[in-house]
Amino acid sequence: MQKNLQHETNLHNLVDSNLFSSIIYSTVYTLLVYLPLIVKLYPSLVRRYALLGYWDIDPHAILVVLFSSLFQIYFYDDFGVKVDMVSHLMALALFGYFLVRQKSSVWVKLHYLFILLATVISMASYRIYRFSNMQYEIREMFVVLASLLIFMALIKKEKR
């Protein structure tokens, strides 16, 4: 109760929130954004390391993960928050590079533009987010949604 404004008992409330957020988001970005984009940019890696084929994730699912991190773009003087924000901006740049290098549908490009616009709006209005409530539940819900989309795609891939 002392560590949570909503009087909940969640894992992220039992550990320092910035440390927990940075660990989780480093893992999420590595497995659900950076690795899939590297696999898409360098398909020869999949031929060399077959296990990487599991990270050939649909671009829309990657963008859902990027959307979830919009709720962590603050300009507070906190190391964890800055790391999350830099991770998000680097991922957006890498995704933009992917769009330039690979053929993509108009829908993926529009989805990316929507995420870019949402990032700009979120950064411009970051004061609406109270630092004491860093929108964990909203971000977690989108990460779970993206994970579900990825899991369903993996099941489809395995059935073939």
How confident is the model over 98-111, as a mean pLDDT? 94
| Spans of all domains in the chain | 11-152
Which pair of tokens denotes residue 150?
Answer: 């990825």
Evaluate if residue 53 carries a pLDDT over 70.
yes
Q: Rounded to two decimals, what is the model's pTM?
A: 0.76
Q: In 113-141, which positions are buried (b, 16+ CB within 10 angstroms) versus exposed (e)? A: eebeeebeebeeebeebeeeebebeebbe
Residue 3 has pLDDT above 60, yes or no: no
Q: Write the pLDDT tens digit of every residue in 69-101.
A: 776 666 566 676 777 788 888 999 999 999 999
Q: What is the pLDDT of residue 35?
A: 92
The rounded mean pLDDT for the chain is 80
109 token code pair: 């490009």
When pLDDT is cut at 50, 70 and 90, the band that residue 116 belongs to is: very high
